[in-house]
Structure 1
Amino acid sequence: MPELDPRTPVLIGVGQIIDRFGEEGYEGLSAVDLAARAASRALDDAEADTRGIAQAIDTVAGIRQFEISTPGAPAPLGKSNNYPRSVAQRLGADPRRAVLEVGGGQGPQHLVTELAGNIAAGRSRVALIFGSEAISTARALAQSPQKPDFSETVDGSLEDRGFGLKGLISMELANHGLTDAPSQYALLENARRQRLGLTKTEYAQQIGQLFAPFTAVAAGNPYASAPVKRSADELTTPTETNRPIAEPYGRYVVARDQVNQGAAVLLASVEAARELGVPESKWVFVHGHADVRERNLLDRPDLSASPAAQLASKAALDMAGITTYNVSTWDFYSCFPIPVFNAAIDGLELSASDPRRLTLTGGLPFFGGAGNNYSMHAIAETVQRARKEPGSFGFVGANGGIMSKYSTAVYSTTPKQWQQDLSHHVQELVDAPAAVPQVSRANGWATIETYTVKHDREGRKVGIVIGRLENTGERFVAMGLENDQEILTLLNSDEPIGQRVWAVSTGPGNRVTTTAERAQALLPAKPLAIRGDYEYITAEREGHLLTVTINRPEARNSLFPPAHEELAEVFDAFFADRDLWVAIVTGAGDKAFSAGNDLVYSASGKPNYIPESGFAGLTSRRGMTKPVIAAVNGFAMGGGFETALACHLVVADATAQFALSEVKVGLVAGAGGVVRLPRAIPEKVAYELVLTGRRIGAQEAKDLGIVNRTAPAGQALAAAKELAAEIMENSPTSVRVSLEVMEATRGIADVVDAVTARTSAFDDLMSSADAIEGLTAFATKRAPQWKNQ
C-alpha cells in the first residue's frame, strides 16, 4: 500500500442473504432479521475480530423498506420503531448515530458515498449500511391466523430523513392514474422508442435483447429471487404469466418486488481497518462518485432521457480517471429497461451484448427488486468481484424515483485517496435548460408527446397521455375517457406519438379522445338548470333568491368530490339564470356550515379532486358577478372557512366557529385560505390564524371584518335572507356592474389608476333598461320595477 491518509475510507466487508418463501431452508425472517444476518456476514467477511468490529461501529444506516416508504402504507406483520438500531442491537453494536435513509433506489450508493465522505472528514471511523425486504413473507402470511409479529421497540436516537417524495408525487399525477412506477416509466420508454424511430415490434426486440443476458446472470446467482434463464422472445411475448402491465411492459421486464432479501456493506477508515486487523486484501476503495437529481417528471425538456443519470455516470468515471474500456464489471439499476438504456446505452455508449454484461446480480426483474435496497446487493457483488480481480474497476449506477435520483461509484482494490464530491457542477448542467410550459386544465386540440396503456388483472385498460396543446405548446397529462375504445385504438396504432387528440378538462382531471365531437358525445354538457334531485345538497328558489344547503349533516357537511360536483353544477346554473339575483349557501343541521374536506374520504385512497370552479364550486370561480352570501351556522372549518371567504358576504350566528385548521392535520389551506385571509384581515392576524389553526367565534370574525352581520343561534339563514332582500331591492344590473368593477380593479394598487381604469361596464350600465327604469322611477316618485336588463 502507498502512503494513504489514515482517514481514507475503504469497504472492508459485504454480506447478502435470501429467504425464499416455500423453499427448503425458508425461515420466515423479518426485515430486521434479514438485515442483521446480512450485516453479520459483512462483519465476518472482513476476516477480523467481529466482536471488535461491532463495538467499533459508530454509525449505522438503514435503507427504508417499501412498507415505510409511503405515507399510510401498511406493515401487515408489524415493524420496528427504529430499524437501524434494531439491527445494531442484534450485532452487539451500540453506535453513536443511527440513520434511516430517504426512499429511493439511489439510497445504498448514496449512503456509501456520504458515509465514506464522513470517514474521510474524520466524523466517523466505522460505519455499517444495510437494507432488507420481507415482502414475500408479509404477503404470504398477512392473512394467516398464526401470522408472526415483527413489531419491536428499541430505544435510542434515530435520524429519520423522511420519505424523500418531494417532486416525485403530486395530486395532478395521482388524479391521472400515475401513482405506480410501471406506468410512469412506460411513458419515458415510449418516448425513447419514438425518438429512436423504432416500431413497437423493433423496440420490444431491443428490450428482450437487453434483458435476456440479465436472466442468465440471475440464473447463476445464489441470492436471486427468480433464477430462470429466459430468451429475448420469452421476455417480450405476452402470455398468461407474462401479462401486460403498462405498455410496452409485460410482467417479466418490471422489477420483482416479491422478495425476502437483505444486504449490508461495512466501511472503515484505513486507520480503523488496520487497528481492527482487517487484511488489506479485503480493502476496496471508492475511486469516483456522483449524486445528481433529475428534474421533476413533467418539467423535463426531453421525456425520453435522463441527463442526470448520464452525466452522473460520466462524472464518476472521470473522477476515477478511467474510461468505459477500463471497467471490468457493470451494474446498472434495472427496475425497467429504460434506466439501463438511458445510462448504459445512450449515455456511455455501451452495448446490450457487451461481454462484461450490464449487471452483476441479474437485475431487479430477475435477481429481485429488493425495495430500495437493490443496489446494496450490486455493491456487494462489485466488491467481491474486485477482490477476485485485484486492480480491476467496477461501476455501480443506482436509480431512484422515476429516473429522478442517480448515484454512481467506481470501485477498485487499487489504493486511492478520497476525493471530495463535485456533483454540484453536474447538477448545474441538469438544471440549466428552461422549464417546460405546463397547464393543469387542458382544453382543445393537442399532440401526443408520449403515452401508455395500463392493464389491470381483470383485463381493463386505461390510456394515459402526456400531450402538448397546439395553440400554446403547454404540456399536460390526461387519461382516456372510460369506455372510449377510439382512444385505445389510437394508442394501440403503429405510432400514437405525434397524433392529434382532443383534450377536455373535467372535475377529476384532463381527458383526451379523438375529436371534439367524440368528447361532446362522451361528455355531454349538463343543462344549466336547478335540479330537484341532488344527493348531497338541496337548492330552493324563492323569487330571485336561490338558497343552496350542503346536506351532509352526519359528516358535519364536509365535502368530497360528488358533493363538489353538485355544488359546481348548481352555481353554474345560478350564474347563468337571469331570474336569480342572489344566492345563499348554508349547511344542514345546527352543527356545521361545513367542516371542510371530508378527511375520512381522503384517507380512503379513492380519487380526491375538486372541480375547476374550486372547493364547493366557489373558491376558484371567476366571474362571480352576482352576490353570494354565506350563512354560517356552527363550524366553518378548513375548506368550510375558505368557502365563506370566497363568498361576497358572510352572516354568522352565535354558534359559528371559523378556523383554517388544515395545519392541525398536516395539510394546507390550499383552496384559497392562505391567499384570501391575509387580504381580508390584518396580515399579522392572518398569519396567526393560518399557522396555529386557532378558532375564532362570530363576534371576533365580525370585528376582524370577515363577517358582515351576526345573528342569534339558529338564525344565520334568516338573517342572510334579510340581507339578500336588501340587496334585491336594488337594481340587479347595478349590483352586477359594481361587482365587476370591484373585481376588475382589485389588482390595481394606485387608487386614482383604479378609479380611472378604462372599462365598458359603466357604458353598458348607462344604456341598460334598469338604469333608465331607476332614473324614471326616481323622477316619478314610484318604486322601480327592475328587469335585470
Structure 2
Amino acid sequence: MPGSRSARLRAAIAVARAAAATALSRRRPEPDAPPAAVEPPRRLRYPSAVTLPVRATADQVFTTLADPARMPSWLIQHAEWIGERPETFAEGVRFRQRIRLMGVPSEVRWTVTGVVDGRAVFFEGTAPMGITVGFHLSVTPAGSGSVLRFDGGVEGGSADGPVGPMVARNLTDSMRRSLAELGSLALSAPPRRSGGADGTARRDRVKPAPVRWERTGVDVDAWTPVIVGAGQVSERSTEAAGGDPVSLAVRALHLAAADAGDDRLLSRADLCGYVASVSWQYRDGAALIAEAVGARPDTTVQTTIFGGDGSLRLLNDVAAAIADGRADIAVLGGAEAASTAAAAEKDGRPLDWPVQDDGTSPTRTVGNDDPANNDPETAAGLVAPIYLYALIESAVRGRLGLAPREHRERITRLWAGFSAIAARNPHAWQPTAHTAAELATPSPANRMISAPYPKLLTANLQVNQGTGIIVCSAAAAQEAGVPQDRWVFLHAGAHATEQWYVTERADLASSPAIRAVGEAVLGHAGVTIEQVGHVDLYACFPSAVQIAALELDLPVEDPERLTVTGGLTFAGGPGNNYTSHAIANLVPRLRADPEAYGLATALGWYLTKHAGTVLSARPPARAFQDIDADPRLPRPAARRSLGSYTGPAVLEAYTVPYERFGGPAPAIVTAITPGGDRVVLRLPEFSELSELLAETDPIGWQLDVTGTTFTVTDTTPVDLPPPGEPPLIVEWDGPVTVLRLSRADDDQARALRKAIADFEADPIARVAVLTGCFVAAGITGTTKPLIAAVEGTALDGGCELALSADLIVAAEDAVLGFPGVKSGHVAAGGVQRLARSLPRRTALEMALTGEPFPARRLHDLGLINRVTSPGKALATALELAADIAANEPRAVQQSKHIIGRESTAEST
C-alpha cells in the first residue's frame, strides 16, 4: 500500500503541474515574432522575475507605467508617497515611497536609473537595514497586445541571508499581481479584484442521528468536529522536484489518512484548507491539494499570507463549518520548503513549482493581513520579528526586575528545556539537546542576531516541513469506519488581536489578547488550566513564551508544561504552519491519555494576532464554537507612538541588532514621556548611550530627548509613566455597547473604526450609544442601530459623526453645524447626510451659512429624535437603546435596512 499511495501522489502532483502549465499557456499570446525584450541594467543577488501577457498595447501600457499619478492604482505594494509625489519618471529623478515588502511597510528611497521611451522604466532604491531593491519594468509588443516584464529583486544588508530569497519570492508573487493590475488599468478598466462565495450558508439538509460514544454510552451530536488523522513530514532533501509546499502537505495528508486508517477520506473531502506558505505562495493552495488527492470540495479556504495564528484560525474555522453542518470531511494542509528554496537560490537552480492563474482565489480567506508596523517603528528599523521580539524581551526583563545576566540565564534555561523536548520529537528539524551555557555563548553557529538573542534563541524558518490534518463530523467519521479510539474532539477555538502596533501598547510585557483567548477556550470547554495536561505555546522567541505563560498562569520554569514539539528554534519554524505541527503532536498524546485535555496557542506578527484551541479524546459537553474574543476584550489605554520628541522621558526597552557578517549595529530604544507617549528611536551609529547599553542596565533611566537623540540625565531607575487618556473608552451593559469619545485626534478616528467593527462582530451587542467629544469624522453605516448622545457642540467632523448615527438624542443647549465653510472647509460626507435628513432649503441654509443650529430647532425639523435637559442626553439615549434591545435583533436589523434602503431611493 505505501508504494501504491506514493505512486498515486506523484501522479497527482504531475497532473496538478500539467494543469497549471496548461492554464498559463492558454493565457500566453502568440506573437508574430519573438519579442525583443529590453534587458534590465543589472541582476541583483536575489532576483525576482515575472513575465505576463496582457491585452493592452505596448503604448497603452507604457503611458500608464510612466505616469507617477497612476502608480498607486496598479502597484499593489504601494502604501503611500513620502514627501512630494514625482511629477514624472525620468532618468535621475529621486523620490521616496512606502511599499510593502513581505507585508511590512518599508520606506524606499528610489532613483529612476533608466527610461527607454515607449518600452521600459528602471527603478533602484534603498530600504531599511541596508537593503537594495530593484524594480525593472518593461513592455514588448506581441500581436494585438503586449508582454509585460518585471526584473528586480533585493540584495545587501539583512537581505544577504535566508530572508533574501523569501523576500524575492514574495516580490515575484506581488509583482505578478501588480502587472495584471497594470495591464487592466492600461485598458482604462478598473483593477481586477479576486473574490468568491463566502461559504458561510448553512446546508439545507437534515442532521443525522446522534452517534453513540461507545466508551461511555453517551450520544454525541452528529456534527461534532473530530480530528481522525494527523501526519507530519520533515524532508531533509533539497531536491526541488516534488518539494514545493503543497507537495509536502499532500504527502503529510496521505500520512494522516493512513493514521485514520482510510486513504479514501482524502478524495471524499467536501472542504479543503491550506495554511499559506511564505517560501512559495499559491493563489489557492487548497485547490491544488484537492486536485492532488482527487477531491472535489464545495469550499476551499486559505489563510492570509502572513501570520503564525493562521494554522489555528484555519482549524477553528473548519471545525465551526463542520459543527454548523456546512461540511462533513475536511482536509487541511500546510508546509514550508524554505530549505529547498534557499538551496536552489544558492546553486542558481530554478524552482519549477506550481503557479496558478491570476484569477484563481479560494472560496474564503481566514485571518487579518493588515500592515504590521506604524511609521515610527518603520523609521527606527523595527520591521522584523527578530528586532521586535528582542525589544519586547528587554521589557519582560524590566517587568521581572532582573539584571541582564540573571535574565539571560532564565531564558537560556527555558530554551535548553525546549531543545531537550525537540530531541525526543521524531519530526523535529534540529533534534539536538543544548545546555543553557551553549545557548548563551555566541559562536559561528550561534551568532548574535539582536540583543539579547543569539541565533539559537530565535525561530528557524529555513526548514522543509509539512502537515496534514483530517477533520470529520462524528457522523462522517462513523460512516467512514474510523475507529473511535482514533477520534480527538475539538472542544473550543478562539481568536483575538492585541493593540495592533507594538509601540502603541500600554505594556510591552503583557498580552490582554492571549489572556482573553485562554479564558474563552477554557471557559467554553469547561476546564481550568490546571486540568489541561498537554500544552503547546507558540514558541518563536523566549519573550513570546514568557508572556503567554504569564497570561495563562503556566509555570515558565517548567518547559515540559509549555511545549510538546520543542518550539520553532528546534522543532522547526515552518512559516505560518508551526501550530499545525503542535496539533499533530497533541493528537497521539491525547489518544494515549483519553481523559486529558490539550491546549495549543498560535500568534502572528509581533504578539499581535492570537488563536487558541482546546482538544480532548473525550467528547465535549458543549457544541464547538470558534469564539471571536475581540468585541469585549478589555484593552488598556493605548500609547501614542512618536518618531521624534523633545523633553524628558524614561528609558523603557532596547535592543542592539547585529550585522550578519559584523558587529553591533545602532541600537533601537523606546522611552516613555511624562504624558505616557512612547518615543521610538534608532540611535546614531556612535553615541554615548549605545556604549552604555552594552555595559550596564539602563531600563528606568531618565533621559532628555531632543528630536531624535537621547541624553542620560539620571541613572536612578524610576517607574514608567502610565498611558495618557485614551481617545475612546468602550463599556458594555448587556446588549448595549457604550462608546465614550474623549480626546480628538487621528487616534480617536482609528479607535472608533475598530470599536464599531467589534460592535458589529459582537454576538451579544444589539445597540450602540456614541457619546462624548464629537470631533472625529463620520463612520460607515452599521447593520445594528447606533444612537448619538450629544452634549455641547458637534461641529464639522463632529456633526458628520453625529449624523452617521441612526438616532440622535441631544441636550437642549447642544448645537450642530458645519462652520468650516467659513474658512473654506467642506465636510462632504456630513453635508450629504444633511441633505438626506432635512428639507432641501433648510439643509442649504445650514450648509451655506455655516451657522450652527440649536438642538431644539433640529428636533422640530426631525433631525434629532429627542431633546433633554443638559447632562441628560446619555441617560435618555441608554433608555432608548434598552427599548430597542428588548426586541428581536434580526427584526430590528431588517427594519433598519428597509428604512435605509427606502430613504436612499427617496433622496435619489
Return the TM-score normalized by structure 2. Answer: 0.53
In structure 2, the residue matched to 1:5 is: 221
1:496 to 676, 680, 698: 698
1:148 to 342, 346, 351: 351
Matched, 1:62 2:267: no
Matched, 1:190 2:394: yes
Decide whether the 8 Å contact of 2:554 with 2:561 is kept in 1. Answer: no
Matched, 1:166 2:370: yes
Partner-residue secondary structure (3-state), 2:567: coil
Shift of 1:683: 7.3
Shift of 1:347: 3.1
In structure 2, the residue matched to 1:453 is: 656
2:642 to 427, 430, 439: 439
In structure 2, the residue matched to 1:133 is: 336
Map of 1:569-648 to 2, 5 A cutoff? Answer: none
Between the aligned partners of 2:606 and 2:684, the Cα distance in structure 1 is 25
Between the aligned partners of 1:427 and 1:493, the Cα distance in structure 2 is 45
Shift of 1:345: 4.3
- CA deviations over 1:190-214 (Å, ceiling 9, x no partner): 1111111101111111101111121
Q: Describe the shift of the 1:680–1:266 C-alpha distance in structure 2 as closer, same or farther (beyond 3 A).
A: farther
Map of 1:204-603 to 2, 5 A cutoff? Answer: 204-296=408-500, 297-345=502-550, 347-353=552-558, 356-419=560-623, 421=625, 423-424=627-628, 428-431=632-635, 433-457=636-660, 458-470=662-674, 472-484=675-687, 486-505=688-707, 510-514=708-712
- CA deviations over 1:293-331 (Å, ceiling 9, x no partner): 111212221111112113322432232222333222111
Matched, 1:17 2:233: yes
Decide whether the 8 Å contact of 1:293 with 1:427 is kept in 2. Answer: no
- CA deviations over 1:424-468 (Å, ceiling 9, x no partner): 56752333x223244343123322111111111221422111112
Q: Which deviates more from structure 2 when the two are superposed, residues 228-237 or residues 136-145?
A: 136-145
Opposite residue 82 of structure 1, the aligned amino acid is D
Size of the alignment, in residue pairs?
A: 511
Between the aligned partners of 2:826 and 2:515, the Cα distance in structure 1 is 51
In structure 1, the residue matched to 2:258 is: 44
Map of 1:115-134 to 2, 5 A cutoff? Answer: 115-134=318-337
Shift of 1:151: 3.2
Between the aligned partners of 1:687 and 1:135, the Cα distance in structure 2 is 54
Opposite residue 488 of structure 2, the aligned amino acid is V
Decide whether the 8 Å contact of 2:301 with 2:366 is kept in 1. Answer: no
Decide whether the 8 Å contact of 1:108 with 1:129 is kept in 2. Answer: no
Q: Which deviates more from structure 2 when the two are superposed, residues 205-214 or residues 410-419?
A: 410-419
Decide whether the 8 Å contact of 2:461 with 2:573 is kept in 1. Answer: yes
Shift of 1:162: 8.1
Between the aligned partners of 1:11 and 1:63, the Cα distance in structure 2 is 17
Q: Describe the shift of the 1:28–1:115 C-alpha distance in structure 2 as closer, same or farther (beyond 3 A).
A: closer
Percent identity between the two aligned chains: 33
Q: Describe the shift of the 1:196–1:156 C-alpha distance in structure 2 as closer, same or farther (beyond 3 A).
A: closer
Q: Describe the shift of the 1:441–1:84 C-alpha distance in structure 2 as closer, same or farther (beyond 3 A).
A: same
Decide whether the 8 Å contact of 2:493 with 2:611 is kept in 1. Answer: yes
Opposite residue 236 of structure 1, the aligned amino acid is A
Partner-residue secondary structure (3-state), 1:443: strand
Between the aligned partners of 2:447 and 2:271, the Cα distance in structure 1 is 44
Return the TM-score normalized by structure 1. Answer: 0.61
Partner-residue secondary structure (3-state), 1:85: helix
Greater C-alpha Rg: 1
Decide whether the 8 Å contact of 1:61 with 1:84 is kept in 2. Answer: yes
Shift of 1:119: 0.8
Decide whether the 8 Å contact of 1:34 with 1:262 is kept in 2. Answer: yes
Between the aligned partners of 1:383 and 1:63, the Cα distance in structure 2 is 19
- CA deviations over 1:232-269 (Å, ceiling 9, x no partner): 11112222221111111111010000100001211111
- CA deviations over 1:520-574 (Å, ceiling 9, x no partner): xxxxxxxxxxxxxxxxxxxxxxxxxxxxxxxxxxxxxxxxxxxxxxxxxxxxxxx
Q: Describe the shift of the 1:216–1:91 C-alpha distance in structure 2 as closer, same or farther (beyond 3 A).
A: same
Between the aligned partners of 1:515 and 1:66, the Cα distance in structure 2 is 45
Between the aligned partners of 1:682 and 1:302, the Cα distance in structure 2 is 39
Between the aligned partners of 1:106 and 1:459, the Cα distance in structure 2 is 33
Decide whether the 8 Å contact of 2:339 with 2:462 is kept in 1. Answer: yes
Between the aligned partners of 2:514 and 2:564, the Cα distance in structure 1 is 19
Opposite residue 261 of structure 1, the aligned amino acid is Q
Decide whether the 8 Å contact of 2:639 with 2:676 is kept in 1. Answer: no
In structure 2, the residue matched to 1:729 is: none
Decide whether the 8 Å contact of 1:345 with 1:352 is kept in 2. Answer: no
Map of 1:688-707 to 2, 5 A cutoff? Answer: none
Q: Describe the shift of the 1:81–1:312 C-alpha distance in structure 2 as closer, same or farther (beyond 3 A).
A: closer
In structure 2, the residue matched to 1:106 is: 309
Between the aligned partners of 2:278 and 2:324, the Cα distance in structure 1 is 32
Opposite residue 317 of structure 1, the aligned amino acid is L
Q: Which deviates more from structure 2 when the two are superposed, residues 366-375 or residues 207-216?
A: 207-216
2:249 to 9, 17, 35: 35
Between the aligned partners of 2:483 and 2:489, the Cα distance in structure 1 is 14
Q: Note the residue ranges of structure 1 that are not aligned, 5 or more in a row.
A: 68-74, 517-675, 689-747, 752-789
Between the aligned partners of 2:529 and 2:830, the Cα distance in structure 1 is 59
Partner-residue secondary structure (3-state), 1:191: helix
Shift of 1:114: 1.4
Shift of 1:493: 3.8
Between the aligned partners of 1:150 and 1:47, the Cα distance in structure 2 is 30
Between the aligned partners of 1:151 and 1:173, the Cα distance in structure 2 is 36
Partner-residue secondary structure (3-state), 1:258: coil
Shift of 1:422: 7.6
Matched, 1:178 2:382: yes
In structure 2, the residue matched to 1:82 is: 284
Q: Which has the higher contact order (CA 8 A, sep 6+)?
A: 1
Decide whether the 8 Å contact of 2:649 with 2:671 is kept in 1. Answer: yes
In structure 2, the residue matched to 1:775 is: none
In structure 2, the residue matched to 1:558 is: none
Opposite residue 61 of structure 1, the aligned amino acid is G
Between the aligned partners of 2:282 and 2:507, the Cα distance in structure 1 is 41
Between the aligned partners of 2:463 and 2:310, the Cα distance in structure 1 is 18
Opposite residue 309 of structure 1, the aligned amino acid is I
Shift of 1:750: 6.0
In structure 1, the residue matched to 2:753 is: none
- CA deviations over 1:136-169 (Å, ceiling 9, x no partner): 1111112434433113336865146388332622
CA-atom RMSD in angstroms: 3.0
Between the aligned partners of 1:288 and 1:352, the Cα distance in structure 2 is 27
Partner-residue secondary structure (3-state), 2:438: helix
Q: Which deviates more from structure 2 when the two are superposed, residues 369-378 or residues 460-469?
A: 460-469
Partner-residue secondary structure (3-state), 1:467: strand
- CA deviations over 1:600-635 (Å, ceiling 9, x no partner): xxxxxxxxxxxxxxxxxxxxxxxxxxxxxxxxxxxx
In structure 2, the residue matched to 1:199 is: 403
Shift of 1:494: 2.6
Q: Describe the shift of the 1:291–1:346 C-alpha distance in structure 2 as closer, same or farther (beyond 3 A).
A: closer
Partner-residue secondary structure (3-state), 1:210: helix
Matched, 1:96 2:292: no
Between the aligned partners of 2:657 and 2:464, the Cα distance in structure 1 is 27
Between the aligned partners of 1:33 and 1:424, the Cα distance in structure 2 is 32
Q: Describe the shift of the 1:387–1:679 C-alpha distance in structure 2 as closer, same or farther (beyond 3 A).
A: farther
Partner-residue secondary structure (3-state), 1:495: coil
